[in-house]
Amino acid sequence: MSSILDYIEHNPQEIQRLVGLKYEQLEQLIKQAIPTESYA
């Protein structure tokens, strides 16, 4: 998973093309998902 995050961090201009979200939106989604992941 970290290789995906590394790619995203180094290529923020590709985010919208790849996942349909702006970098800031994806970053917010990841921040919200991390605390939830610990409950799984």
Structure-token pair, residue 40: 């799984």
The count of residues in the chain is 40
Q: Is 15 helix (H, G, I), strand (E, B) or coil?
A: helix
- pLDDT at residue 39, rounded to an integer: 58
Q: Say if residues 22 and 15 touch (Cβ distance below 8 Å).
A: yes
User: Model-level pTM?
Assistant: 0.54
- pLDDT at residue 3, rounded to an integer: 83
DSSP 38: T
Domain ranges (residues) in the chain: 2-37
DSSP 13: G
Q: CA–CA separation, 13 vs 28, rounded Å?
A: 16
Average pLDDT of adjacent 10-residue blocks, the chain of 40 residues: 79 84 86 69
- pLDDT at residue 1, rounded to an integer: 52
- pLDDT at residue 40, rounded to an integer: 54
- pLDDT at residue 37, rounded to an integer: 58
